[in-house]
Every structure is written in C-alpha cells, then in structure tokens.
Chains A and B, each alone.
Chain A
C-alpha cells in the first residue's frame, strides 16, 4: 500500500490550517484546506467583508536575462512588452495549437525580469515546458522559485483597510493588476492587487518562514471587520461566480484560448508567439465551439463533465458548475457549438440521467459593485 497522505506537499501554513481545524483535502498534489467555517459562510464573508486564503501552493517561475522579454513574448499569448515594471497581466501559456499548457499571471519585476505565477498542479509540467521553450534564447534562463514564496490572498471589500493597518505602503495607490515591494506586519514581501474571487483584494508574497506570522497578523487585524480564513471550496465558488476560468476544468491542452473566450489575453499585434497561427486563423474564421455561461432553470446542479443536450442530442459538456452561495442560483460553464451560443437559448443538462432545463446567460454571473 502506498500511503498517499505522506506524499502530499504541505504549504508553510499547513500547521496553521490544522490549528484552525480546517477540513483538508488533496488538491493538485497538496494537502490544502477546503473549508474552515463552511464554504457558503466563507464565500459570503469574501463578498461582504474579506476572507484570507493560503494560496502558497501556486507556483512561481522566473525568467531573467537580456532575452527575458523575447522569451516571455514567445511562450505567453499576451503582450508582455506592454507591461511597465510593477505591472501584471493575465495570460495563457500556449502550445503550438493555441491550446493551454496553463493559464498564468505575468509580473514584470524589472525590464529583463519576469515572474510567472502558475497553477499548483502544473508547476513541474510548466517548468519543463518553459525550460525547453527558452532554450533558443541566448540569455533567458528560467528558474522554478516556487519554494521561495508563500502566497496569501486577502480578498473582499474590507481587504484594503485591513491590510493597510499592517503596512506603510499606501495601498490605495496600487492599482488593480499592479504590485509594489513592501513590508507586511514587519515582513519584507511583495504586495499585489490581484485575486481570484471577483472582489477587490491583495495577494502578498512573503518568505515561507514568515508566512504563519503574517497570516495571524492579518486575521488579528481583520477580526473586528469580520475577516475569516477561507479555503479552496469558497475560492472555487467565488471564481465561478465571477466567471474566472479554472485550468483543468474550463480549459486545458485540448481547448484553445479563443474557444475558452479569452481572446482578450492575446497580444494580436505581436509578430509571433506559440500558437499564433492557429489563433489568428480562429480569429479570422471563427471558432466551432465556445465556453458559455449557463443558469439552471430546473432545480439541479450541473457539474463538471455532465453532458449538455439540445433537442435530446448531446451538443456539449459542462466544465464547472455549482450552487452559488451569493447569487443563490445554480450556475455553470459549458462548451457548446458556437452557432448555438446565444443568450437565453434553452438547453438541457443530463444530471445523472435526469434532464434538467437550463439556459445560456451572459458572463460574468457576478460583477462587484464599483464604489
């Protein structure tokens, strides 16, 4: 017998989660908290106050050197030349077929230094891919620096005020998708105005040894504002409500960037990048299938892998779905033929042998109110 429990990796906050009596699950090779007080409770806390997530399982890969920009431009679909130092962009790590090796955030640390934040389950695959891809560049070595960072995400409308009590960096001056070096609770790190919840918030990179102290400091500072620890369960329902894609569910190496509805991350003006030929052809000719938002009409929850039917014929598949705690609706994303992808079109989802009525709706399902 293989004891899989011992093979799971642990973040620097693992003991902290056990101390909170979190329910732990295996996720992407990591032993991670799925919930503390409950998914709905944590979800609502993030929408109305703030929640603190341990996302240290996410990977970091850095490319630095005089050819770093050229290398990033080749492997990442978005146009990294448009990034100022201190700026971030969402992008796709593309294959030659225009499909996803992964999705990622690209941080411009310096003119010739980029930090890529990638999915936990893909760290080894991405690093192997990137190392091969940067070979042709004379000076763009890639380093897997994942173990050098703990990553904490404070998400929700109260995040800015709570975090501000722990840092001298003026957080209001950090715009969405920008970052600053700074001290948080006396610990040197990087403060990034990003997240995966559909709310305002920050992700802070700190040295792993200091992660538990920073975690406790944030929870302590946020106690009166109702900040709670939040797990991967709420992270998933929050991102789905905000229509943010999840690699492995909503896109993977078989789906292109355009099929996933992420054409906005493609730097079309770049002379070339991995998958440019396929993506330019799809842009010109249209895609045959596309990711749409679905709202259930019948009382049922569409989940990953459930077939989508039109007039009794299978036409697509659900990629993600849940009952959302905030909107209180059953929502899902699904691939359907592009010629069927009109809002309000009625479809059915095969929910374990029972056909449940659903309709196509615009995404995002949830958009935060702008103050």
Chain B
C-alpha cells in the first residue's frame, strides 16, 4: 500500500529522496480523507522552508488542509500540472508530487516514519 522507498510524516505528507533533491506529496490516506481535490495552492520556487513549515494548501470540495514540509530546504520546483489537474492527487497520490526540495539537513529524514510505521500510524 505505502511504498517502501518513501518516508512519511504524521501529518500525512510523503517525501521521495533522490540524489540531490526530494519530491513531496500527500499520502493515499490524506487524499482519501480530503475527498475530491479541486485546488492546490503552490508556493514560489526559491522559497526556503524549515522542517514542518506550511508551504501551501490543498482544497477538496469539502475542506481545506495545510501542507507541511517534511524537511528543511529550498523549493527548486513545483508541480504546475496540479494547477489544471488537481485530481491527479486523488488518482495517483504517491506519484503526484507537489514540491521538489533541495534538502539542507539530511538528518531531518531520521525523524520521519518509514512505510511500516506510517501504516501503523493510520491503521
């Protein structure tokens, strides 16, 4: 269910760390709770985030939810495709990344949950 190559926050974001940058999105549990996503408010590229900082909002028909950065770092890209097709978050939550961050503090990852721990967290 929850891919083993991702790390997770208790606030239901995931992060996929590549060599130089990490993609951040919301989990399948989060998209189920939200229902039909209709709007993703993306941040400015270049913004520097601290761990746990709010970087945007995601809205479904029925609710608004804040997005928290799993790690500290600079935003190097945002997924503009979500502006016209926010429903990708529902259709494929663990692929539909929202921001790409150049992480500044690798040890931030140590505080995150692995797939097994996250599965227990939402179970």
**Hey, which bits of chain A sit against chain B, CB under 8 A?**
23, 34-35, 38-41, 233, 236-237, 299-301, 303, 322-323, 325, 352
Assembly CA distance A31 to B44 (angstroms): 41
Chain B residues within 8 Å of A299, by CB: 39, 83
Q: List 29 A-B contacts (CB under 8 A).
A: A23-B35, A34-B35, A34-B62, A35-B35, A38-B35, A38-B36, A38-B90, A39-B35, A39-B36, A39-B60, A39-B62, A40-B36, A40-B61, A41-B36, A233-B35, A233-B61, A299-B39, A299-B83, A300-B39, A301-B39, A301-B59, A303-B64, A322-B62, A323-B38, A323-B39, A323-B61, A325-B36, A325-B61, A352-B64
Q: Is the CB of B59 within 8 A of A233?
A: no
Is B57 on the interface with A (CB-CB < 8 A)?
yes
Chain A residues within 8 Å of B35, by CB: 23, 34-35, 38-39, 233
For residue B55, give the distance in angstroms from its CB to the closest CB of chain A: 14
Q: Is the CB of B38 within 8 A of A301?
A: yes
Which 4 residue pairs of A and B lie closest in terms of their CB atoms, listed nearest first? Answer: A323-B38, A40-B36, A39-B61, A38-B36
Assembly CA distance A322 to B35 (angstroms): 13
Given contacts A39-B35, A301-B38, A322-B61, 15 further A-B contacts (CB under 8 A): A34-B35, A34-B62, A38-B35, A38-B90, A39-B36, A39-B60, A236-B62, A300-B39, A301-B39, A322-B62, A323-B38, A323-B39, A325-B36, A352-B57, A352-B64
For residue B19, give the distance in angstroms from its CB to the closest CB of chain A: 34
Chain B residues within 8 Å of A323, by CB: 38-39, 59, 61
Q: Which partner residue on chain B sits nearest A234 by CB separation?
A: B61
Chain A residues within 8 Å of B39, by CB: 299-301, 323
Chain B residues within 8 Å of A40, by CB: 36, 61
For residue B62, give the distance in angstroms from its CB to the closest CB of chain A: 5
Assembly CA distance A301 to B61 (angstroms): 9
Chain B residues within 8 Å of A38, by CB: 35-36, 90
What number of B residues sit within 8 Å (CB to CB) of A? 12
Chain A residues within 8 Å of B62, by CB: 34, 39, 233, 236, 322
Assembly CA distance A233 to B63 (angstroms): 11
Q: Which partner residue on chain A sits nearest B63 by CB separation?
A: A303
Q: Which partner residue on chain A sits nearest B32 by CB separation?
A: A23
For residue B60, give the distance in angstroms from its CB to the closest CB of chain A: 8
Assembly CA distance A303 to B61 (angstroms): 10
Q: Which partner residue on chain B sits nearest A324 by CB separation?
A: B61
- Proximity string of chain B (57-91) to chain A, C-beta cutoff 8 Å, 1 when within and 0 when not: 10111101000000000000000000100000010
Chain A residues within 8 Å of B38, by CB: 301, 323
Q: Which partner residue on chain A sits nearest B90 by CB separation?
A: A38
For residue B122, give the distance in angstroms from its CB to the closest CB of chain A: 15
For residue B70, give the distance in angstroms from its CB to the closest CB of chain A: 22
